[in-house]
Amino acid sequence: MIVHPLVVPRSPYRGRDPARLRKAERFNALAERLEQHINSQVEKSNDRVQIFYYGGIARDLRLDEKEVENVLFGVEAGGNGITIVK
């Protein structure tokens, strides 16, 4: 379980390879978007424990579920979602 607020790890790549740099920038932008979305949902709710499924997050933000899973894998490996405790 993750304690609120959620912090999604970012890609540390800062090299010169343009393709890898674009990939890292995309990853970091998604990490920021997911972090903001999930934290705002947690703050709005009165529930102490909340479960977020990758599919639900992807649907809410109109993203690919595999992309969401890939970015959030660094937060809580395995399963099909994450659990956050307020």
pLDDT string in tens for the chain (86-residue length) = 899 999 999 999 999 999 999 999 999 999 999 999 999 999 999 999 999 999 999 999 999 999 999 999 888 877 899 999 99
- pLDDT score, position 1: 80
CA 73 – CA 86 distance, rounded (Å)? 20
Do residues 19 and 55 lie in contact, with contact meaning Cβ atoms separated by under 8 Å? no
State phi, psi for 6 to the nearest 5 degrees.
-70, 135
Supply 66's token pair. 């595999």
Length of the chain, please? 86
Longest dimension (CA), the chain: 45
pLDDT at residue number 43: 96
Q: Is the pTM of this model over 0.85?
A: yes
